[in-house]
Structure 1
């Protein structure tokens, strides 16, 4: 699909949006809107087979995520959003690096509830911030299995008040390997299948 290729080419080299100029941001948002008009999945929330799995963030306008990459001495590595439809769970995982042996992890676990054919309500329930070595982090899948098994980590491992820590996400495009979402704070997220 030409529009999908155009979006991926516009995103290339922007480091998930960190390095995007104003002109590039406008071009990317226009390419996103063009692709959303041709969403092959009219009811994304009901497409569990497409939604489920691990997704890697390739572009966002979310300042809360991009600010992780602007911290001095830290480099933002991969950012994942892992969806487990069966459990109605979502896990956001950001890998960060800096000084040798001090690779870190910032993660939030949440539950989601469909409220329309393309919108989910998200309630955040747990935050984990720590060193990958102390957490024994090797991959998003292994990490999520430990969370789901109830493991308490040697990290800043905090329960969140899901009544206050919540939002929504519209899934505006999804196919086998690309997903676009728009959040309640006006942020856009483009993810590829990990």
Structure 2
């Protein structure tokens, strides 16, 4: 699909948005809007086989995510958004690359509440920040299992904290979905472009 190739080309060189110039952002917004107008899955929340799974973030305008790259002596690594529709859960996992043995992880777990065929309300509940080695991190899927089976990680592993759902609620709308690409829009005006892992 022509619009899809254009979007993938546009996001390829901007390091998830960290290195995007204003003209890059304009081109990416336009390419995303073109694809959204041709969405092959107009009711994405009913297409669980397409929506469910682990997604790699290719691009975002979310400053909350991009600011993770400002941690001293570290660089933002891959960011994943993992959707578990059967449990009405979503997990955001950002790898932070640093000196040997000091590579970190920032993870957030939230509930999903469908409010339409395209939109979910998101209620953030739990955050975990720590070193990947101490947390036993190997992959997003493995770490989600650890989150589900561990009510609270010890302080030796990292910071594991509750998030006030009332103060951190938001929504996410899936505006384009095919077998391997997803575009979403968030309540703060953020754009997300993700590729299936």
TM category (shorter chain) comes to: over 0.9
Distance 2:39 2:63 in 1: 26
* CA distance in 2 between partners of 1:15 and 1:171 (Å): 22
1:172 is aligned to 175
Runs of 4+ deviating beyond 4 Å: none
Once the two structures are superposed, residues 24-69 of structure 1 have per-residue CA deviations (whole angstroms, 9 ceiling, x without a partner) of: 1100100000010000001011111111000000000001111111
Name the residue aligned to 2:13.
Answer: 13
User: Residues 6-45 of structure 1 correspond to what in structure 2 (within 5 A)?
Assistant: 6-45=6-45
Q: CA deviation at 1:151?
A: 4.4
- 1:71 and 1:143 map into 2 onto residues whose CA distance is 22
The residue number in structure 1 matching 2:83 is 83
Q: Structure 1 residue 159: deviation in Å?
A: 1.3
> Which structure 1 segments of 5+ residues have no match?
none
Q: In 2 relative to 1, CA 150–71 (structure 1 residues): closer, same or farther, beyond 3 Å? A: closer
Q: Does 1:93 pair with 2:93?
A: yes
Secondary structure of the residue aligned to 1:106 is strand
Aligned twin of 2:159: 156
Q: Does 1:70 align with 2:73?
A: no
TM-score with structure 1 setting the length: 0.97
Aligned residues: 194
Aligned to 2:196: 193
Which 5+ residue runs of structure 2 have no aligned equivalent?
none
Alignment RMSD: 0.9
